[in-house]
């Protein structure tokens, strides 16, 4: 007796396609176009009622979107922002002993993109903090939890009247805001807590501290919301293909006072960070910004 081959449901087709193309992100439309071509005969009957190919694909796209909860339960990742929503299967989530996946880009490739975004969107003056300029007295990775990847200064009094500037200085008012950023390529369920608490450790000295990543699946956003609410660190989604699409998903809780004791500790450990504080000191004393020193 001939054995009947059971056809895959549409959800199963989507899951198989994403697993066959693991670590690649696809929109619902791209998935629909691919699975309807891969299983062309199986879709013939479903296609008939539609007057155009676009209408048919739009229906499949809608069905994929409606079944996102089923896909999530099957270990499919999805990300809503920036639009359009994308789906992917992350093979790194299931660790294979002895097997390392080669990433297309490194965290260091993201630093200039983040600096450009922060400068364009918020007018921040940014600096990269290179771990190689640290004293490393504590050995390998000794400063992993000490200093962030990117720091920034935001000038608040640039457009103020000179008399107001003088009053702010005399009354110890805030005329600059200090920002701190910890950058990760992607956040997953396996690294989200360590990454977040690394940001807490090395960015809590600033007025505003952020954890930045290019990939933040929706299924870990709730945990990030809870952690952000408890510890005040914000979250930024960096869109590496178009930085203008980058977004602050969770704003940081602003601290009125900088933790200068922690700042002093980092200054003693890292030359780049000392340079950052030197530049801020120049602005405090003179009101001058030497733009060639920043955003590099």
Distance from C-alpha of 18 to C-alpha of 24, rounded to nearest angstrom: 8
Q: What is the pLDDT of residue 140?
A: 56
Is residue 164 very low, low, confident or very high in pLDDT (cuts 50, 70, 90)?
low
pLDDT tens-digit map of 214-264: 989 888 999 999 999 999 999 999 988 888 889 999 999 999 999 999 999
Bridge partners for 165 per DSSP: none
Is residue 134 very low, low, confident or very high in pLDDT (cuts 50, 70, 90)?
confident
| β-strand pairing of 176-184 with 150-155 | antiparallel
**Residue 253: partners with Cβ closer than 8 Å, 6 or more residues away:** 228, 232, 234
Is residue 93 very low, low, confident or very high in pLDDT (cuts 50, 70, 90)?
low
60: pLDDT strictly greater than 80: yes
Please give the share of the chain, as a percent, with pLDDT higher than 90.
57
pLDDT tens-digit map of 187-204: 998 999 999 999 999 999
- Map out the domains of the chain with their CATH numbers: 10-92 (1.10.10), 107-293 (no CATH)
Mean pLDDT, rounded, for 107-119: 94
Is residue 68 very low, low, confident or very high in pLDDT (cuts 50, 70, 90)?
confident
Report the chain's mean pLDDT, rounded to a whole number. 86
Mean pLDDT, rounded, for 54-77: 90
Is the dihedral angle over the CA atoms 252, 253, 257, 259 positive or is it negative?
negative
Q: What is the pLDDT of residue 103?
A: 47
Distance from C-alpha of 135 to C-alpha of 137, rounded to nearest angstrom: 5
């Amino acid at each position: 007796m001939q054995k009947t081959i059971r056809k895959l449901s549409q959800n199963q087709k989507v899951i198989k396609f994403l697993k066959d193309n693991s670590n690649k992100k696809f929109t619902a439309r791209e998935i629909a176009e691919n699975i309807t071509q891969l299983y062309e005969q199986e879709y013939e009957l479903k296609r008939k009622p539609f007057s155009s190919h676009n209408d048919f694909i739009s229906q499949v796209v809608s069905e994929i979107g409606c079944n996102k909860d089923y896909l999530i339960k099957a270990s499919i990742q999805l990300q809503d922002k920036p639009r359009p929503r994308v789906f992917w299967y992350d093979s790194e989530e299931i660790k294979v002993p002895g097997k390392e996946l080669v990433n297309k880009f490194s965290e260091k490739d993201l630093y200039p993109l983040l600096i450009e975004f922060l400068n364009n969107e918020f007018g921040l003056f940014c600096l990269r903090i290179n771990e190689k300029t640290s004293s490393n007295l504590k050995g390998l990775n000794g400063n992993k939890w000490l200093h962030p990847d990117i720091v920034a200064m935001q000038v608040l009094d640039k457009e103020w009247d000179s008399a107001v500037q003088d009053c702010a200085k005399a009354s110890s008012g805030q005329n600059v805001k200090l920002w701190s950023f910890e950058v990760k390529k992607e956040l997953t369920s396996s690294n989200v807590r360590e990454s977040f608490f690394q940001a807490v450790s090395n960015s809590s000295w600033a007025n505003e501290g952020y954890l930045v990543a290019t990939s933040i699946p929706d299924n870990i956003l709730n945990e990030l919301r809870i952690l952000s609410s408890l510890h005040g660190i914000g979250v930024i989604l960096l869109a590496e293909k178009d930085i203008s699409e980058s977004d602050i998903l969770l704003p940081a809780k602003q601290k009125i006072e900088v933790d200068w004791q922690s700042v002093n500790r980092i200054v003693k450990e890292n030359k780049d960070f000392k340079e950052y504080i030197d530049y801020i000191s120049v602005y405090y004393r003179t009101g001058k910004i030497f733009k060639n020193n920043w955003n590099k």
